Structure 1
């Protein structure tokens, strides 16, 4: 196996005195997606930023709910590390929260996409024109970290924390049970429950159950977690690719595990370290998921050009053929997505650092722009689009920070409601 440190090219090598300085630089760049690249009216994260200037029709004002939640967590990282002036950061976060308080909501949940200039829903699909429980949970995960960070601050900061508390208490988690013992992803004022997507494990949706159980105003019962998410124990798996136990059944990807964002989105704030229930140990779930993805790319059973111990990571992203949920074996298109390895830093620090140095020092300007690494690439297809997606871009800085300091994990897990919700569901943590 090659060590990328021995083959660095150009002037990039001399720019960083240490890995810590390097990680500062990487975090700053990715935080800029929501700091310098924010939609100007809402302050929210644009669904996509294309440096090639080519956008889908009428898409440039569209902001994303979940991606903004990840970006909000990144802004906190920037503030805490001194990359962003504290007062300026509070003003930006307050703009976002004020926008969200007035934007379209459906039983307290925001839609997946919102027009940043108006606050009105932009349908994600014909029948997906209402509340999106999962994306709203990703958003609130980041906002609760902000609440905890500023709750004992100055007057302006306390007001921000109080505003977040108001919109948190308006989220009607129990409505999304649809009078059953499982949460449903979508509700539409025009199509009702026709999307019909129950949240059953395992995928990226654990945070919806944690916040639902934690809600101080519209809680869900513990039975919804056990019967819905855990499938009355059916979530447990014996699969062990490369000798690495997955522990839970990955929906539609039981043999090798699903796309790696499943190990990131719910864990921006929710700390999987020591998080155990009667079914599994979520640290094993997340860490082994990342290790399996890494081992698959090293083994490279489909012989794609470029895959190696330094170039790995399969997750949902842009692809040569459009947008794909890349994953081992089931949907491997020869496309590497940097966020897969980089947002896995807490789980695979050595493997992720090796990938980071390869992406930055070896692929260089093919892969790097003003908001950090571009979304995805294929060495075999010589495909390096200069495009970003918020949901990929905005998890990188927060998850690197959870590796470095655990900041966001500490903040989210300090929420008294979350502590009560976890106990209610039978977790040890």
Structure 2
């Protein structure tokens, strides 16, 4: 994630208010600095989707490495980012319409079927697709969660492009077609829980979405489907598998990787609304993500494995790239380093690799600890990526940027500054229906 030279070195003094928007009057110096910093971070994240796209079909590269395939999750984030780009003045609306139409037309017209060379099956799509022809890459799985992230972006595009012109009408028609085509019931495969995926060679993957994870958006979309919805029992089976923990005196619904507490929130405004699980704990998922963010900082302060550099402003463990696989001496300790892995804290993989992008994406939840961390880690944002490992000698920094890192940063910062993606999606009937069917109630869901 190249936050490069446009990010100034500043010392943030206090968090920006969640409702802060660009103003026409002078702001106090500390708020000016914060706004400059956050807009720079946003713009750099947005640029990923401008640079790593095939304009002919809308596919977005998983990471900025030559020859790398597209990620359908990155496409969903890109579709949402185009509206943000228009709103912030970074992209002309006509250009955003053109990009969006190319993407939706490709997915609507691409091959669906059980052929190993197809693009998708039953309305789902393969995790990775060839950037040029859009066919399955790397013999990967038909992915339930990545399809959900794609469809979230499809629905965001439909919500944003609400004009009466023929192109924007086509966007909404294609988006509705793509959502209605997904056979969520089929992905259960005679189970209550949704499966991780399917392969034409071997059938359904053994793993199901069990335990608190990024699948909240998946279950909400599956419940809200007007064509192939899953039953409420599927959602209840998922929440029945949750683990409630107390860590550092903080009680919360546990998941170790920080991205889990962010990904669904990029589209779902979970302020003040509760399902049965959260209602029983007098909490909501937004506050839960705040607590998970605080736990991450506390873990870095505790630093049980003794990594150099961890501390108040140096934290953030998530699924990320890494310097491995390798075993090296680090400050007199022999350490095993991973490559891309699902790191987590306080339980899970910790090899000294931190993901400042995940800190940035936590901004809406805990600005009072995120803003100082972003200011302190400006040197990382000047590098090619916001993933690094604290080890002996010069620290390793990933040479790559990833669409699934830049996307949540862009959207979560915009939610914090402008409430834009959340406001857009609060008006989506399908998401509202899915939330209500999952048992959510309160605040904005009660509004007609």
The TM-score normalised by the length of structure 1 is: 0.85
| Count of paired positions | 388
| Counterpart in the other structure of 2:420 | 407
For the residue of structure 2 that corresponds to 1:197, the secondary structure is: coil
Secondary structure, counterpart of 1:200 in structure 2: coil
> By how many angstroms is 1:395 displaced?
1.3
**Quick one: distance in 1 between partners of 2:43 and 2:10?**
22
> 1:184 corresponds to which residue?
195
2:375 matches 1:357: yes
Alignment of 1:88-237 (within 5 A): 88-103=95-110, 104-123=119-138, 125=140, 128=141, 131-193=142-204, 195-227=205-237, 229-231=238-240, 234-237=241-244
Instruction: String of CA shifts for 1:301-340, please: whole Å, max 9, x gaps.
Output: 2221121222211101111211121212421111111221
Looking at structure 2, the residues matched to 155 and 30 of structure 1 have their Cα atoms a distance apart, in angstroms, of 30
Once the 2 structures are TM-superposed, how far is the Cα of residue 99 of structure 1 from its aligned partner?
A: 1.7
Give how far 1:393 is off. 2.0
Corresponding residue for 1:283?
286
- Quote how far apart the aligned CAs of 1:66 are: 1.0
Please report how far the alpha carbon of residue 62 of structure 1 lies from its aligned counterpart in structure 2 after TM superposition: 0.7
1:143-196: CA deviations, max 9, x gaps? 211111112453322221221111111111111111222211212222112x21
* Contact kept in structure 2, 1:62 and 1:115, CA below 8 Å: yes
Q: Does 1:273 align with 2:271?
A: yes
CA 1:176–1:303: 2 relative to 1, 3 Å: same
Shift in Å, 1:385? 2.8
The 8 Å contact of residues 71 and 395 in structure 1, kept in 2 or not, is answered as no
TM-score (norm. length: structure 2): 0.82
Q: Which moved more, 1:270-279 or 1:17-26?
A: 17-26
CA contact (8 A) 2:12 2:371 kept: no
By how many angstroms is 1:364 displaced?
Answer: 5.7
User: Residues 148 and 415 of structure 1 are in contact (CA less than 8 Å); yes or no, is this contact kept in structure 2?
Assistant: yes
- Which of 356, 361, 368 is matched with 1:338 structurally? 356
* Structure 1 pair 402–153 and aligned structure 2 pair: CA distance change class (3 A): farther
State the secondary structure of the residue aligned to 1:224.
helix
Query: Is contact 2:55–2:99 with CA below 8 Å preserved after alignment?
Result: no
Mark the CA change 1:352 to 1:124 in structure 2 (over 3 Å): closer, same or farther.
Answer: farther
Q: Which residue of 1 aligns with 2:366?
A: 348
Change (3 A) 1:343 1:276: same
Q: Displacement, 1:375?
A: 4.0
Instruction: Find the partner of 2:437 among 400, 424, 429.
Output: 424
**2:344 matches 1:327:** yes
In 1, Cα distance between the equivalents of 2:380 and 2:261?
25
Q: Is the 8 A contact 1:134 1:185 kept in 2?
A: yes
Match of 1:69 among 68, 76, 86: 76
> Is 2:337 the counterpart of 1:303?
no
Which position in structure 1 is the counterpart of 2:399? 386
Unaligned segments of structure 1, at least 5 residues: 8-13, 251-256
**Separation in structure 1 between the aligned mates of residue 368 and residue 310 of structure 2, nearest angstrom:** 17
State the distance in 1 between where 2:355 and 2:236 align: 33
DSSP-derived class of the 1:97 partner = helix
Q: Deviations over 1:126-159 (max 9, x none)?
A: xx3xx21110001111221111111245332222
C-alpha displacement at 1:123, in angstroms? 3.5
Unaligned stretches of 5+ residues in structure 2: 1-8, 14-28, 111-118, 279-283, 325-338, 443-448
- Specify the alignment match of 1:23 in structure 2: 38
Q: Does the CA contact (< 8 Å) of 1:61 and 1:117 recur in 2?
A: no
